[in-house]
Amino acid sequence: MGRLLALTQAALFLIGVCSQSIATPHFPPRPPAGYGAANAVNWRDESPLSSPPEIILGPTHNLEDIPVREVDSDAGVFDLHSVSDEVYTRVSHPMFPHHSLRIKSSKGWCDSVQSYTGYIDIGAKHLFFYFFESRSPSSDVILWTNGGPGCSSSLGLFMELGPCQILSADDVDSPKFNPYSWNNNASVIFIDQPIGVGFSYADYGEHVGRTEEAAKDVATFVAIFFEKFIFKKSTTDVKFHLAGESYGGRYLPVFAAEIMDQNAFLKRAGFAPIPLDSVMIGNGITDSFTMATSYYDVTCTNASLQPLLPISTCARMRRAIPRCKEMLKAECIDRFDTMSCAAASEACDAELAAPFWSSGLNPYDISKECDGPIEETLCYPITKHIAKYLNLPETRKMLGVSKNVHTFRGCSDAVGIDFQSHLDGMRQTALYVEQLLERGVRVLIYVGTYDWICNHVGNYRWTAELPWSGHDAFNAQELREWKVDGEVAGMTRNASGLTFATVFAAGHMVPYDKPKQALTMLNRWLAGQEL
């Protein structure tokens, strides 16, 4: 989930999830001023990163950082199982002299597998990650990221697909075992990125505001992590997958591209390349242009459920579509003029997305009312329990959270605003997907059908329109049902490495709404089978 950010002249920010964002000063959707309560809490970060620490000191401010034990980085790969749970072990990579990785093992989780947490230190920037080994022998490794931009992947970990879940207030004392965790047959890494998100921090408060910049940090993390830990057993059958949702639809194609381009350098320097096999995007915002017009389909037709808005509103929305398409194409695609693209997307947002907010429905699941206020809960009060758990001194100690991170917040407004100011979400991310497919990286686009914010209609359209060599073969396929235990789970089609799939009656966070279907889909995908 990500969150929805909106920028009004009064600099009012609100969260949502997918796109939340997006980029432009207002497209994607932004709730009207006053939607929800004014004083937000944990899941939302109201303080800019530069706030004086005393304002945001959390309950854990007197925790000390755990010690770091230096190890000889030239000793090559070493055994992850020798990593301590008391102190951090630091490792580095000769190709990245300014980067190193601190890792510790973590006891006390509900799963029996080995788990680790740590930071990759990139100069003054520090990215936090969790790593869970697979429950069964597997050579697949998944890196998961949530969206925002600016939201922590702990949402995916504890609410959606991680081994230990926090789904109620009781789980804050001891997270519950998740039988449908994605580490059933794959190792899974959750990363708080970019800098400034979740437990990630920077010594002087700096953060990044563009996906391309975030991609460099993630690619470096992947290179060091694989060289030091994953390649220990083998470099031949390991398969790496990038997965995420929401704004991850923008992040992941760019991260994958950076990893592929970095491979050329790794090989030249004599290191094994990262065996990137696939990219999996759930309810993503890969293409803001088709998403803009699809808000009409979801709110005014039976595409997801039934029409939600008044006929007069729908007629007005329908009239705006041609104009909106034309403006976005002219100002954001044919050329990219920051001011005019922002103006075009703001106008389209006002016509096509804004009307939804009057419905009071959950933008991540239109079959429900928002259990809000949205700025506090993202419509899911679970998010508050997760934040509470992550702010417990015991939790922070077990994870090795730096004392520089005062209070955990689910989403960082400062990061979201930075991305928005660069119109990061209005870039043509689908062009990266095209290149990845041409180079043999498989791509899975899966979408819960009840989501409004990053819906299946928009995702169907961009995958159908994608200009790549598999375009005709892909479009020649009819959508067909895919099943789990004999029951229809959704519709799918695939060709030449690209798969599109819907998940019926799931909202934005598919593994939360349909855990069994999501895990079945994942395992079939990892095994290279048809869904």
Active site residue 365: no
The residue (of 82 and 306) whose beta carbon lies closer to ligand NAG is 306
The distance of closest approach from Cβ of residue 482 to ligand NAG in the complex, given in angstroms and rounded to an integer, is 11
Catalytic residue among 385, 456, 471, 508: 508
The distance of closest approach from Cβ of residue 178 to ligand NAG in the complex, given in angstroms and rounded to an integer, is 17
The residue (of 65 and 530) whose beta carbon lies closer to ligand NAG is 530
Among 150, 217, 53, 387, which residue's Cα sits nearest to residue 396?
A: 387
The distance of closest approach from Cβ of residue 275 to ligand NAG in the complex, given in angstroms and rounded to an integer, is 12
Q: Which residue has the tokens 């100690």?
A: 397
The residue (of 211 and 494) whose beta carbon lies closer to ligand NAG is 494
249-258 burial by CB neighbour count: b if 16+ within 10 A, else e? Answer: bbbbbbbbbb
Give the span between the Cα atoms of 419 and 425, in whole angstroms: 8
The continuous run of DSSP H or E covering 499 comes out as strand 498-503
Active site residue 246: yes
The distance of closest approach from Cβ of residue 185 to ligand NAG in the complex, given in angstroms and rounded to an integer, is 4
The distance of closest approach from Cβ of residue 499 to ligand NAG in the complex, given in angstroms and rounded to an integer, is 7
The residue (of 33 and 473) whose beta carbon lies closer to ligand NAG is 473
CA angle 279, 285, 290 (to 5 degrees): 120
Catalytic residue among 246, 278, 288, 294: 246
Burial class from Cβ neighbours inside 10 Å (0-12, 13-18, 19+) for residue 397 reads middle
Give the span between the Cα atoms of 180 and 308, in whole angstroms: 33
The distance of closest approach from Cβ of residue 527 to ligand NAG in the complex, given in angstroms and rounded to an integer, is 6
The residue (of 210 and 239) whose beta carbon lies closer to ligand NAG is 239
Catalytic residue among 451, 456, 471, 513: 451
The residue (of 54 and 478) whose beta carbon lies closer to ligand NAG is 478
The residue (of 394 and 472) whose beta carbon lies closer to ligand NAG is 472
Categorise residue 104: left if φ over 0, alpha if ψ from -120 to 50, beta otherwise: beta
Amino acid at 40: A
**What are the phi and psi torsion angles at 8 (to 5°)?**
-110, 180
Transcribe 103-119 into DSSP letters: EEE----SSSS-EEEEE
The continuous run of DSSP H or E covering 215 comes out as helix 211-228
227-241 burial by CB neighbour count: b if 16+ within 10 A, else e? Answer: bbbbbeeeeeebbbb
Rounded to a whole number of angstroms, the distance between the first and last alpha carbons of the chain is 24
The distance of closest approach from Cβ of residue 241 to ligand NAG in the complex, given in angstroms and rounded to an integer, is 11
The distance of closest approach from Cβ of residue 472 to ligand NAG in the complex, given in angstroms and rounded to an integer, is 11
CA angle 94, 96, 100 (to 5 degrees): 95
Strand pairing category for 276-284 and 239-246: parallel
Q: CA dist 360 to 7, 8, 364, Å?
A: 20, 20, 12
Active site residue 451: yes
Amino acid at 240: F
Q: Which residues bind ligand NAG (CB under 6 A)?
A: 136, 138-140, 185, 302, 306, 473, 477, 494-496, 523, 528-530
The residue (of 66 and 161) whose beta carbon lies closer to ligand NAG is 161
Catalytic residues: 246, 451, 508
